[in-house]
Each structure stands twice: as structure tokens, then as C-alpha cells.
Amino acid sequence: MQKQELSYEDSKFTLDTYWLDPISDFDEPVDQPLAIICPGGAFKFQSDREAQPIAMKFNAAGMHALVLHYQLIEDGKAVYPLALQEMATTLNWLKTQSESHHIDLNKVVLVGFSAGGHVVASFNSIMLNPDERKKIFTDDLEVEPSANILGYSVIDMTLGWPKDEEWSMKISPDIYYWQAQEHLTKHGKPTFIWQTVTDDTVPVMNSIIYAQKMDLLEIPYEMHLFGSGGHGLSLSTYVTKHPDGGDYNVYDAKWWELCVNWMKLQEILPKF
Amino acid sequence: MQKQELSYEDSKFTLDTYWLDPISDFDEPVDQPLAIICPGGAFKFQSDREAQPIAMKFNAAGMHALVLHYQLIEDGKAVYPLALQEMATTLNWLKTQSESHHIDLNKVVLVGFSAGGHVVASFNSIMLNPDERKKIFTDDLEVEPSANILGYSVIDMTLGWPKDEEWSMKISPDIYYWQAQEHLTKHGKPTFIWQTVTDDTVPVMNSIIYAQKMDLLEIPYEMHLFGSGGHGLSLSTYVTKHPDGGDYNVYDAKWWELCVNWMKLQEILPKF
Amino acid sequence: MQKQELSYEDSKFTLDTYWLDPISDFDEPVDQPLAIICPGGAFKFQSDREAQPIAMKFNAAGMHALVLHYQLIEDGKAVYPLALQEMATTLNWLKTQSESHHIDLNKVVLVGFSAGGHVVASFNSIMLNPDERKKIFTDDLEVEPSANILGYSVIDMTLGWPKDEEWSMKISPDIYYWQAQEHLTKHGKPTFIWQTVTDDTVPVMNSIIYAQKMDLLEIPYEMHLFGSGGHGLSLSTYVTKHPDGGDYNVYDAKWWELCVNWMKLQEILPKF
Amino acid sequence: MQKQELSYEDSKFTLDTYWLDPISDFDEPVDQPLAIICPGGAFKFQSDREAQPIAMKFNAAGMHALVLHYQLIEDGKAVYPLALQEMATTLNWLKTQSESHHIDLNKVVLVGFSAGGHVVASFNSIMLNPDERKKIFTDDLEVEPSANILGYSVIDMTLGWPKDEEWSMKISPDIYYWQAQEHLTKHGKPTFIWQTVTDDTVPVMNSIIYAQKMDLLEIPYEMHLFGSGGHGLSLSTYVTKHPDGGDYNVYDAKWWELCVNWMKLQEILPKF
């Protein structure tokens, strides 16, 4: 892993980059898809459990991976709209990297967990709509994602998380950013959604309302709501399990296999 | 397979029975769970594609299986409430069979596809609520199901299927039976729901509204909405594929494995 | 399941038949492959754990299944050559059933476990070689199997099972029948072999020597030798687990999935 | 990936290191298992197809990974015994890294493909036997592997690969090193072996004779011989497939899942 520093206006932010090397046995390098991962952490931190272990799964599936350290509540700054501007900056930066790292820019996937999912869903809703985007990002968006993956994602901050409005105000004093589903348009991209119905932190209704909005707008989606397990499962395997036990659910680990199948369906990965 | 004829009042109906034999190597026979399967077919017929092939999967998983030939639109009769009375009659009949066939009556699962799913969902909503049940079934319900499995199920007949109200009126002149979700109470049982979001016959919103109602009532559920494939997929493998091609989707076949996991979670099947 | 009685000369024997019904939704019935299952049981009995539960797996995979109650050591009779004559008789009988039950006679698989595997391997070695067959079976063999599946199979009765030669003499006073690999010729059919290397009853060398002989003769085969688990695992899942615990190994249950893949490779089952 | 240069006596060699970072959310870092990967390439090169893509699978499974660029036929040097000395040097070097990189030194796995498998099998046979080791490696071996994984591995250079003895002489003028199985002792470690029986480059008998020797010595092993596919399959998925088609077999890709199960069995990975 190598750190990459980028900036939007005067705000610096960091990417963890996990590049695949080209396979020199091949006559010429193959461009590979890429995943940009937004870990969760309640906008207070970014959990390592949803960073490198997730990047490793994408790498193993033949995809480059980046972990975006999007804006948190810190230094007196709000998350929004800065997190969205950082994501857009990251996407545009990919264009400068595609030749040296052999990136297939038509196969970029945004991946968000919990709070990080709110960033991804908001990007999908707001930033892919040119009319809304240009209010907060004056450059062109030169690289668009082709799909999103949302794990136990916050969608609407009025549905139970955060628990108090004061916290929501710190995330964004502008309530425009509270409800990602409200801004979704036909510009939104196909989205894979998974969560547990027994999530005791972010109510599953977050996932359901986003799916319903996608359904209404006829945007392709897939949604898996598992019957057990709590919040923050990450891979739901021993790899991301807390050493002291903690939450872990063998059935929910199926999400990754389902997600790979779906990426094949979306032609991000080859079918065979 | 052996046919079993039962009757509710003066209406006769038929079960296809797929009993597991006890394993004589064991010191004593083990009581096995049982699935009652309601195939789809628009209330005009019951599709063989959702009958024996499904029964075989339950048998292979160590469960007895019955296919219930519930009341169709025929002989000038409506489906409801007769289909519900037949299901109740079947459940009570199980009690008479449990000793000879070694049935674990605490592990009975109702399984419905498409129109057959409407029967199962309605039974879950209406017949497990003693106040409603006694209006149409005066006997006690001596055996209750412990879980339901709904595949691309019709839930609410006003959501797109049937296409014309005339058809709905034939299914049930009493509109009380049109919307299964409306009658769901806390008496409802844990339910596994799957469908494709691209179902072109029964809108996926049928599944979503039933899940939402379960969520509201805090009834355990699990829901898998796949991103591709049409209506009537059954197992979504070569086993139930039309010889002339037709609808078939390799990704959606995962529903069965997810369903087995969920039955383990519900302790209908052993975890190991 | 229905019992079917057949006879070879004056010896009667029984089949348990598990026929798939045709799917009436299809324009015309589809001919299905068929598996003939020989359970193990040390030639003293046939274990139910390797009978119906195995038949159910084949049925669920879209194949007819028969359990052959081949000759045991009883009534003062030896197993061989009668067991082989019974298998040949069963295969020829299939021809009389293929039209009524829609059997694809080009896709018949012989499946043997433990002692039952010795019957299958011996059939493959001896009875598919016309020169040897005609010595003990004067009719033509009108239906040939297209593949074999051997689970923890006895191959060579001098390799550790049976423990005493007296037992082998009861199985077959003619030592010609003791070593199935010795008689294998190029007439043998593709074979799937699985066992555990830790089998404490039938040494794994039985599987290995049969594979080596197939390799030498350039007969296609596949072999999976698992690193743990004992003898007689059957499906190695809860379905065939002794209620009082007994041998059971979650990793070894993979054999079935590998076996289905191999049947696809052999074009016994459709690839998709 | 970072390059690490090591040396044995005056020979320099290189490792590609793929370290997992500790998860900072945990109270304290967890020591992780480690895989040392020896790609194949006929001792003329090391194939990238068996390097980083394999390392990524181990990383994704929660294991550190190194790719060992063992001695090739070049610069007038032979492969043996230098490749073995390099492997020993690498293992001892791990001890200096275990604290900083959180390596569980009791869970080190050697992984070899094709020619690289010959290095691993030879290490297992020769270098884990103290009597033989001290003839070519005078230091103590401070870190021992706990298991081996061999993919379509060369074991015995007289069994069909290399095709001419001249080549074998370049690999090792000392014929002592030609037949890895000959030197195997009870010091050898549990080994997972996989190959295709249709391998047209390295005859499958290589795998079988090593398994037989392990069986004789009562060293735990597991062996999967698939019925189709050629040599050099690597992961046997799209990830390592030649862009121009080439060899690729969907069924053989199961080896990785079986291998992970086996690592669980060996307690290199947690069972859940």
C-alpha cells in the first residue's frame, strides 16, 4: 500500500492505493477495473476493518483498489459537501493515472460502508446530476463511476442514525445533505445494496428506501437483506472479526460472493 | 410420490407427498422437518416446474415435502378463502401423520411461488391471527408453520398483477383477500423472501411491501432481490429450465443456498 | 420410492426406484439421466445412509435414481459374480423403462460406496470388457453406463479390507474377483473417485491404485482425497449424520459439489 | 508490493513482499500467518500469473504473502541447491520481521507451482531433515514451515518433465536433486496437492507419487486431481487467464476454496 495525497481547493486528503501490477507474461498489459472504498466510522474515523481487508478482496478479484480518507467531522469542518468534492477530485485524478497503472476507467466502482455509504449514495444522487454537481464542483467530472456497492449504509440521517440532530448538524449544517435518496435522479448508477434486518445501529429502512427510489427511477439495483447479524460486519469472516469476539456472522459473509456475481452481471468483471 | 386426497367440508383437494423414509441404521428414527409447497400458475394451474423439483431440493436437504394443490379458479369457485382452509386442513392432517412418517411438527415451513406465494402470505397474515382465522375456520389450528419462504410472490393484487380487476374478482370477490400485507399481525412467522427486481410479471414492490410490514411488526425476515432475471425462475438452474430456452439465470440460483442458510438460522435445519 | 423386483436366472433382487415425473408444463417430456446406487455395508447389509439420501441428491440434480440391492453374503451365496450379473440385468431392464420413465440411456451413472464401490469398480473392469463379460453373462449388455462414481470404495480386497481372508473367501471364493483394478481395460468408463486419506477402514491406497490404473489406460478420471474424516461419510452433512454424533466432516461434504461439476464435464448434466 | 533483497553467501535474491497492515481498531495487533510463494516457469523465469494474483488471494484470506524469486538457470548457475538455501535464508529472515510485521511464525506455508513446486517439495524432503540440511545449510533453520501447497508441481524430473536430460542437468548437475519424493522423511510437513489428470506438460504421476510417499510415511496430505484442464492454470479464473484465451477451466478454480478449507483444517486459518 502506498499513500497518495490529493487536494480539493485548500483541503488535503489522502488515498491508500492498492495497485495491481501488470502481468508481464501477457503480450500487453490489461486495463483493470477499480474500486474506491469509503470505510465507515460514524464520520469520526475510518475503520481499518473496512479498508485494507476490503481492498484485498477487490485486488484478489482482479481490481485495483483505493481507500478514500474522505472528510470527517474534525478541525471544525463539516463532512459535506467536502467529502463529495474529494470523491470527484479522486475520480478526475484517476484519468492521470490510467495509463501508468492500466485502469479501465469505464469500470470504476464506488464502495461505501455505513457512514462511508452515505458518501457514496450522496455522490450517486447529487454529484452524478450535472445540475446539482455544478453548484459545488465547477470542474467537469471526467471519470464517472459505473456502479456502487453499499454495505449497511446510512442513507437518510433522519431515520435513526445519528441518534441526535446535533450530530447530524456537525456532519452537515445544510440539511440538503441529510437524505441521499431525496436527490436521486435517473443519472444514478446501478447499485448493489446489502445489510442485515437486525442492524441495531443503522435501521435497515435506510437500505429499503434507497432501493425503492431506484425502483421508481428504474435504475438497476440488487439488494440483499440478511436475517441476522448486527452493524459493521465488514466481510463477516474471521479476517475482520474483532479478536475479542464481537460481531461476526457466518451467513452474512455470502454478501461478497453475491457482490462479485453482480459485478459480473454489470460487466465490471468478466463472466468467466 | 404418492397422491393424498383430503377434503375441507365438501371440497376435495390433493397433496403430492414426498416422504423421507427413516434410516434403519440409526437406533431410532429421527423426526424430520417438513415443507408444504404451493406452486405458482396465476391461480389457473399449478406449475410442475415449482412442484416436484422444489420438493426434491427439500428432500435432499433432509426434509419431508408436500405439494398442495390449493383451490384454483375453476368450477365457478373462487380461490379464497378456500385455499386458506385447505392449507389449515393440511396442517391439521399432519398431526395424524407425524408418528408414522416421523415429522417434526415444530419445523413446518410453507413455501410459495408467485400465486402460490399469495396463498402462503395470506395464510401467514390471516390464518395465524386467531381472531381472523375463526371467521373462516372453526376448528383449532393444531399445527402451526414455523416459517415461510416466498419466491417472486404476489402479495398485493392491486400492485400490477393481475392486470385487470376482473381477474382479481375471480380469485376473490371479497377484496379483503387482495392485499396480504394489510392483515399481517405479530402472529406472522419468520419469512424468507426472494425475487428479481426485473420481474416483468409481478412487480418487485410486492416483496418490498411485505418486508416493510414485517419490519414494522418486528417479525424476523430475510429478503434477497436479485438484479436480473424474469418471473417464474423456480430453481433458476437447468433442472427447471424450459427445454426451448426461456428464462433462466445462473446468478439467481443462489436463492436456494441462501434459503438453506436461513433455515439453519431459524433452527429448522441443523447448523452443521 | 417404489420397490421393483427383478431376477437374474433364479435369483431375485430388489431395486428402490426414485423416478422423476415429467414436467407437464413442457411441450414434451425431457429424457433425464439416471444413477444406479450401490450402498456400502461390508457385503453384510446395505446402509440406508448411502441409499435414499444419495438418491435424493441425484433427484434434486435432475436425475432418476435407483438403489440396487445387490447380492450380499447370505443364504450361503457369494457376492460375486452374482452382484455383477444383477447390475447387468438392471441395466438391460432400463431399456424397457426408458420410454415410460423418460430415461436418457446414454447418461447412466453407476455410484458405489465402500463395498458397493467394489461392485461398481468390478463391473467397470470386468463387465464392460466383452471377452470377460460373456463368461458370466450370456445376454448382450444393451445399456452401458457412461460413467462411475466411487466413494471410499473397496478396490482390492488384499489391501487391508477385509481384515481376514476368510471374509474375502465368503465374498468370493474365486480370487479373480478380489482385485478390481487388475481386470480394468480400455473399455472402462470415466470415473470420479473420492475418499479421505485418513480412512481407518478401507485404506486410501484402494482409490490411488484404481486411479493409477486408469491413468495408465488413459481412461478419464478425477480423484479427490480429503485430508480428514473417517470411513462411511456418505454426504458428510447433517442429513446422513448419526444422531448420536459419529463421523461427520464439514470439509468433505464438498465431494458432492465436485461430483456435480464433474458430471457436467462428462456432459451427463448440462453445463448451465 | 515492495521488493526486498536478501542474500545467501554471495548470491543475491529478491522477495516481493505483500504485508498486511495491522487493523488499528483492534486493541492490539494480531499476528497473521504467512505464505511464501514460488511461481513456476520451467526454471527459466518466474511467471507473474503465479505471483501477485496468488499473493492477493492469501492477503484476502488474512495472510501475509511473499513471492520468492528463487535461483533460475542463469549466469551459469544451477538451481540446486541454491534455491533451497535461499528458501532457508528467507525463513530465517522472517524471524527478524515477525515483530514489526506481526507474523505468526508457527503458521508459515510454502506454496509452489510447477517448477516452483519442485523447490517446495524438495525443501520439504531435504531441508526439513536435519541430517541432509546441514550438508548444504550450516546455520540453524530457525523458522520451519508448517505446511505446503503444491499446484501441478514437478516432483520427479525423470517422469516426463523436463523432456531432455540435458535440461535436468542444467537444473541440477547433481542428480540427488532430481527426485523430491526420494528424500522425503517423517520430518516432512502436511501438504495440499492439486493438479489436473490431463496436464500435458507435467504428468500427474508427479503428484501421485508424492502423495503415495506421504501416505507411506504417515504425513498428513490432501490431494485433488481434476478431470480436465491443462498445465499452468494458476487460479483457473479470469484473473490469471491469458487475454488471448489460452488455458482456463472453470471447474478447476475450486482448488482455492478446497485449499482454504484445508488451511482451516491445519489450523493455519481460523475455522470460522
Dist CA B118 CA B201 (whole Å): 14
Structure confidence by residue, pLDDT tens digits, B218-255: 999 999 999 999 999 999 999 999 887 765 689 999 99
Dist CA A9 CA A143 (whole Å): 19
Q: Which residues pair with D194 in a beta bridge?
A: D151, D224
Partner-chain contact B208 A204, CB within 8 Å = no
- Domain of D223, CATH number, reads 3.40.50.1820
Q: Which residues pair with B224 in a beta bridge?
A: A224, B194
Dist CA B113 CA B119 (whole Å): 9
Partner-chain contact A227 B251, CB within 8 Å = no
> Cell 533460475 sits at which residue?
D72
Identify the domain containing residue D154 by its residue range: 2-265
Q: Cell for B201?
A: 410479471
For residues D39-66, b (16+ Cβ closer than 10 Å) or e, as one string?
A: bbbbbebbbbbbbbbbbbbbbbbbbbbb
Assigned domain for C270 exists: no
Below-50 pLDDT ranges, chain B: none
Assigned domain for B271 exists: no
pLDDT value for B247: 58
**Residue D2 burial (10 A CB sphere; 0-12, 13-18, 19+):** exposed
Assigned domain for D271 exists: no
Below-70 pLDDT ranges, chain D: 246-248
Nearest-by-CA chain C residue for B248: C272
pLDDT value for C27: 86
Q: pLDDT at residue C247 above 80?
A: no
pLDDT value for C246: 64
Residue of A16, A17, A23 to mutate, interface with D, max D Cβ within 10 Å: A23
Cα of A53 to nearest chain B Cα, Å: 24
> Cell 495497485 sits at which residue?
A19
The candidate with the shortest Cα–Cα distance to C122, out of C90, C88, C146, is C88
Dist CA B204 CA B124 (whole Å): 19
What is the secondary structure of B63-112 as a DSSP string? -EEEEEE---SBTTB-STTHHHHHHHHHHHHHHHHHHHHTEEEEEEEEEE
Contacts of C242 in chain B (CB under 8 A): 25-26
Give ipTM to 2 decimals.
0.97
Q: Please tell me the total count of domains within chain B.
A: 1
Assigned domain for B270 exists: no
Dist CA C195 CA C226 (whole Å): 6
Q: Which residues pair with D32 in a beta bridge?
A: D103
Assigned domain for B238 exists: yes
pLDDT value for C243: 85
Q: Measure Cα distances from B185 to B122, B131, B216, B217, D122 in Å.
A: 11, 11, 10, 7, 68
Contact A243, D30 (CB under 8 A): yes
Assigned domain for B272 exists: no
pLDDT value for D211: 98
Q: pLDDT at residue A271 above 90?
A: no
Q: Cell for B222?
A: 430475510
Dist CA C236 CA C243 (whole Å): 13
Assigned domain for C164 exists: yes
Average pLDDT, stretch A183-208?
98
Partner-chain contact A26 D243, CB within 8 Å = yes
Cα of D12 to nearest chain A Cα, Å: 22
Partner-chain contact D211 C208, CB within 8 Å = yes
Q: Cell for A81?
A: 459537501
> Cell 490404473 sits at which residue?
C213
Partner-chain contact B262 A227, CB within 8 Å = yes
Q: CB contact, 8 Å: A212 with chain B?
A: yes
> Phi and psi at residue B208, in whole multiples of 5°?
-65, -40
pLDDT value for C245: 72
Residue of B149, B226, B252 to mutate, interface with A, max A Cβ within 10 Å: B226
Cα of A224 to nearest chain B Cα, Å: 4
Assigned domain for D270 exists: no
Q: CB contact, 8 Å: D246 with chain A?
A: no
Q: Measure Cα distances from C167 to A177, C148, C176, C201, D31 in Å.
A: 81, 26, 15, 15, 54
Cα of D217 to nearest chain C Cα, Å: 12
Structure confidence by residue, pLDDT tens digits, B190-207: 999 999 999 999 999 999
Dist CA C99 CA C93 (whole Å): 12
Dist CA D20 CA D29 (whole Å): 11
Q: How open is the CA angle B138-B139-B142, to the nearest 5 degrees?
A: 145
Q: pLDDT at residue A27 above 90?
A: no
Q: Tell which wins on pLDDT, C26 or B183.
A: B183
Dist CA C37 CA D134 (whole Å): 55
Dist CA D148 CA B141 (whole Å): 60
